[in-house]
Amino acid sequence: MEAVGGVLFSGIVLGGMYALVAMGLTLQYGVARIMNLAYGEFVVAAGFAALWLFTAAQVSPLLGLLLVMPAAFLLNLMIYRVLLLPLVRRARSPGALETDSILATFGLLFVVQGVLLAAFGGAYQNYSYLSVPIGLFGATVTANRLVALLFAAAIGTALWLWLARTRAGTAVRAVAVNPEAAQLVAIDVRRVAALAFAVGGAMVAAGGVLVSMFLTFNAAMGVVFTMKALVVVIMGGVGNLMGCLVAGLLLGLVETAVASWVDPGLTLAATYALFLFVLILRPAGLFGRPAR
């Protein structure tokens, strides 16, 4: 039986990561209207990038963020321009775009997973960075978890400030609320969508790098990350950053509690249980208003 303090801390760290990753997804789905099923693969890819930087070039993951995040931004911008824009152009209705983007990113999932498998193999990987124990509120935690949590909080806050305080961020929020009305106030919806998609990609890369500091991962784990991010987004209400934070923390806590006190093999079951709970009681999310 693990102590409550340790579980609480681990849960908050894991939940913070889920929240960060889900914020990226909520930008991609809520603003760019792309249901990205390859999302989790990019979490894992960023993790592998951090691993490679650390073991091959001795670059610390925190410095690595400065490299991986812009790279992910550009990569996702290209993915949107090259792969997804044709689908946006050909879609006759939002429903058609949703279907097409689900299919296209499902294909992308296998491509990215295949590339990771070919490059790094299928084995579980981890690396040891800052794994020194420190005492915190009476519990012993590793420094890398604490650092990851602080960085996630900083990046999440930066995203929030960008959305709330800048002109570009306001345009992004306007498109999230109503793409047709946004056009009326001279917002180039497709450019904003591309921007939101790329920023979302940078967020997911940040999440992947931070997660890789303390979690063991392998090339096949992307699906689980996608699933959890989707559940957090739906639970928090699509396009709602605060909802992501609360739902992410909730999922992290529930999952850590289940993993430490019940069985580590049942974490996805815990995710699904939460998902079912939301679907049955509050289909529009914890903070959302019902759509119909």
Partner 1 sequence: MSGTALALALAALLALGTVPLLDDGFWLALAINIAQYAVLATAWALFSGPTRYISLATAAFFGIGAYTVAVLGEALPWPLVLLAAGGIGVLVSLLVGLATLRLSGVYFVVFTFGLAELIRQLVTWFEVNVARSIGRYVFVDITQPQIYWQLLGLFGLLLVIGTWLSRSRLGFALRVIGEDEVVARHAGIDTARVKIALFALSALFLSLTGAVMAPRWTYIDPAIAFNMTTSFQVLIMALLGGAQSLLGPLLGVIPLVLLFEVLGANFPNHFSILLGAAFMLVVYAVPRGIVGLLARARRRAAA
CB of 14 to partner 1, least distance (A): 17
CB of 123 to partner 1, least distance (A): 14
Question: Residue 143: what are its φ and ψ, rounded to 5°?
Answer: -65, -35
What angle, rounded to 10 degrees, do the helices at 222-236 and 94-120 form?
150
Cα dihedral angle (215, 36, 22, 230), rounded to 10 degrees? -90
CB of 242 to partner 1, least distance (A): 21
Residue number with CB closer to partner 1 (35 or 51): 35
Q: How far apart are CA 11 and CA 250, in angstroms?
A: 8
Phi-psi region of 92 (alpha: psi -120 to 50; beta: other; left: phi over 0): alpha
Cα dihedral angle (33, 174, 40, 278), rounded to 10 degrees? -90
Q: Which residues in this chain contact partner 1 in the complex, by CB under 8 A? A: 35, 37, 83, 86, 90, 95, 98-100, 102-104, 106-115, 117-118, 223-224, 226-227, 230-231, 234, 263, 265-269, 271-272, 275-276, 279-280, 283, 291
CB of 170 to partner 1, least distance (A): 26
Residue number with CB closer to partner 1 (90 or 131): 90
Residue number with CB closer to partner 1 (99 or 170): 99
Residue number with CB closer to partner 1 (133 or 265): 265
CB of 276 to partner 1, least distance (A): 6
Q: How far apart are CA 256 and CA 12, in angstroms?
A: 9
DSSP labels, 62-105 = HHHHHHHHHHHHHHHHHIIIIIIHHHHHH-SSHHHHHHHHHHHH
Residue number with CB closer to partner 1 (40 or 207): 40
